[in-house]
Structure 1
């Protein structure tokens, strides 16, 4: 069986894990359609060929240049689809233009006789990003109805997808998000990591990691860390990640942190964190906090678990399905600074913190088993096989 994975230059870490799981199946031939981000990443995987149709999609470009590049990419994609012998197109992420990605391209693929699978990493990212309107929601519904099968990561996502977009449950498969296995893990000690970042050895270090955007609720975490620091002088808040959009949100966060936290209580690095530096932040931290106000799933969970780091997450989306209360972390109320502060206090007084070496080992072992890419590959292959069998 030959399949194509369409990634649109998004989330290379997820793509690598996903394809590594699929490539372990000898009877499966995989074509990955992606961007410069996958060069040097996919070539090491068996039965896998990379088609770099997108090129560089991360560079800062003028509107005219960006429009030219996107247009050229769509033409390459149309040509590729007409020529490939792949029976199944697995669409991981959308490209740039809703009309093309959600309506024109899926219909074109169907006319070519392709079976379509889509992984809905977020059921409605437009609503999450505050950009939802009648057309965007209509086009998203049309895309979901065009798919032969849809994959979501949790049971809640399946329920919401079926209820909000009238998708029949039989069309939806629940397959978990896999553990991040691309970011290097070299085993740096907490002591060495803290020395590298300039954090005291006895600090109570709280980490926010990832792209910075309004829906992630970082302002609530800053308030909670400030409140906690009044009673716990060892508290240090680390915020590491690049602002996702050109807004004043990051500037507001910097001002808020400067007003509420002294220099020895906060470390801000609001920029892209290279892959070989990521482990340093997770090793230095005692816990990761996801203060999000709206989302279904976050890949940062599976990055934290790779390093055995406990998580305090808000009770939104499907976080409760992946953060096990008292075992891998704690759940707090979204947008509630008092409750977030209380859960941070609970964590630092719990066995998860007191026995942190043991905790990290247990979380890593649990995650390696539950979020195995080999298992995910087999489950996904079963979805493909059911479609080929029907045809």
Structure 2
């Protein structure tokens, strides 16, 4: 009989029981929310007295796993080829048997199918995290996606996603555990951003002194709503502001050209700047007076909205998806109609017109809101509880 993972770091399991070994499986360890959450959970497992193994096709974030005491095993689980997925299932089953794996946690569809088959073959508890809505326009796609609902417990990263699973896939309510993604409050702490960091990034981006800054962080892809944002700034009619589109085009050069063209169309070259990817987002938020999430499709959670609030910044977000659960209207920010230029312009205008007193009050409300409900520690603790719940089912 195994010992469950302790819910608090530093606790010592019974000497007669061995520690639980948890394997997380995802396509690759590249930059992204899923990958960041994987590292955070690996660290939580280790700190709680368990053994953390991550299986992926590799990537630049593998070294972060090593840093937190986790083990990484490279496997081509990013492949969507059916025969490769079955081969990966055999490899995972062998890994489970050789390493004494107690639970397998899948975070993406192709790796989840391999993990699901391996779990069945070895009678190993299986947990999934449903990270997005995924395309579900035809029965084949819905079947392919359905593996993310086959865990003995299914973690939804927002109530919005939980509702989506129930509606589209008929997942029973009692199998779902809503665990919002968490903000690293050690990293996203206004007190930790130094003047030197502010000056460095401000100089790099050529931000004029004394000018309000409106930022839209997010990779350059159409559904993130950069075009709506540009049109909203044009509608606002103010040129005494500095607007930043923070994000890489990730090879979408045509869309980037379209954004540049739209900026020129509105004669906003001196107002809106594309500044590419940023490696110091806490400082980017601190440089901003307002942070915008303009997504035209619902965000499954909306990491930017929460990170910005953690840094005490008022936010403007579109009124759907996870933002409805993380923004308190007129207390920490404002929600606007998705894809609606006038609604977004009005919301941004409210943020720009805040008095110093109101801005400070909103900052404190936003910081408290995120610290109380959306921390990384809370996310990890609740996920460990799910692991222990599933591990106890076999006892």
1:44 aligns with 2:67: yes
Partners of 1:13 and 1:145 in 2: CA distance? 22
SS, match of residue 334 in structure 1: coil
Q: Tell me the CA shift for residue 120 of structure 1.
A: 0.8
Counterparts of 1:148-227 in structure 2, within 5 Å, are 148-180=152-184, 186-189=192-195, 192=199, 193-227=201-235
SS, match of residue 238 in structure 1: strand
RMSD: 3.1
Q: For residues 315-355 of structure 1, give each alpha carbon's deviation from its aligned partner in whole angstroms, at most 9, with x where no partner exists.
A: 1112111011122211000011001001111111235x655
Gaps of 5+ in 1: 58-62, 95-99
| Counterpart selection for 2:246 from 240, 245, 261 | 240
Q: Tell me the CA shift for residue 357 of structure 1.
A: 5.2
Q: Tell me the CA shift for residue 362 of structure 1.
A: 4.4
Q: Tell me the CA shift for residue 258 of structure 1.
A: 2.0
SS, match of residue 125 in structure 1: coil
2:104 corresponding residue in structure 1: 89
Q: Normalised by the size of structure 1, how large is the TM-score?
A: 0.82
Are residues 336 and 240 of structure 1, via their aligned partners in 2, closer, same or farther at CA, if it must alter by over 3 Å? same
Are residues 184 and 348 of structure 1, via their aligned partners in 2, closer, same or farther at CA, if it must alter by over 3 Å? closer
1:250 corresponding residue in structure 2: 256
Are residues 254 and 72 of structure 1, via their aligned partners in 2, closer, same or farther at CA, if it must alter by over 3 Å? farther
| Counterpart selection for 1:126 from 127, 135, 141 | 135
2:121 corresponding residue in structure 1: 111
Q: For residues 354-384 of structure 1, give each alpha carbon's deviation from its aligned partner in whole angstroms, at most 9, with x where no partner exists.
A: 5545644543343233222332222212211
SS, match of residue 32 in structure 1: strand
Counterparts of 1:277-292 in structure 2, within 5 Å, are 277-292=280-295
Are residues 242 and 52 of structure 1, via their aligned partners in 2, closer, same or farther at CA, if it must alter by over 3 Å? farther
Q: Tell me the CA shift for residue 304 of structure 1.
A: 2.1
Are residues 104 and 39 of structure 1, via their aligned partners in 2, closer, same or farther at CA, if it must alter by over 3 Å? closer
Partners of 1:38 and 1:221 in 2: CA distance? 31
Q: Give the stretch that moved more between structures: 70-79 or 367-376.
A: 70-79
> Would the aligned equivalents of 1:18 and 1:373 in 2 still touch at CA under 8 Å?
no
1:310 aligns with 2:314: yes
2:25 corresponding residue in structure 1: 6
Are residues 102 and 386 of structure 1, via their aligned partners in 2, closer, same or farther at CA, if it must alter by over 3 Å? closer
> Would the aligned equivalents of 2:290 and 2:352 in 1 still touch at CA under 8 Å?
no
Partners of 1:304 and 1:73 in 2: CA distance? 42
SS, match of residue 345 in structure 2: helix
Q: Select the structure with the greater relative contact order (CA < 8 A; seq sep ≥ 6).
A: 1
1:342 corresponding residue in structure 2: 346
SS, match of residue 55 in structure 2: strand
Counterparts of 1:27-38 in structure 2, within 5 Å, are 28-34=50-56, 35-38=58-61
Are residues 379 and 198 of structure 1, via their aligned partners in 2, closer, same or farther at CA, if it must alter by over 3 Å? same
How many residue pairs are counted as aligned between the two chains?
362
Q: Tell me the CA shift for residue 388 of structure 1.
A: 1.6
Q: For residues 78-109 of structure 1, give each alpha carbon's deviation from its aligned partner in whole angstroms, at most 9, with x where no partner exists.
A: 64345331111111234xxxxx4454541232
Q: For residues 271-322 of structure 1, give each alpha carbon's deviation from its aligned partner in whole angstroms, at most 9, with x where no partner exists.
A: x43x2x3334222211111111113222222332343322100011121110
Partners of 1:234 and 1:262 in 2: CA distance? 11
2:38 corresponding residue in structure 1: 15
2:304 corresponding residue in structure 1: 300
2:3 corresponding residue in structure 1: none
Partners of 1:345 and 1:148 in 2: CA distance? 47
Gaps of 5+ in 2: 1-19
1:269 corresponding residue in structure 2: 275
SS, match of residue 239 in structure 2: coil
SS, match of residue 37 in structure 1: coil
| Counterpart selection for 1:136 from 127, 134, 141 | 141
SS, match of residue 41 in structure 1: helix
Partners of 2:339 and 2:61 in 1: CA distance? 37
Q: Give the stretch that moved more between structures: 171-180 or 260-269.
A: 260-269
1:321 aligns with 2:325: yes
Q: Normalised by the size of structure 2, how large is the TM-score?
A: 0.81
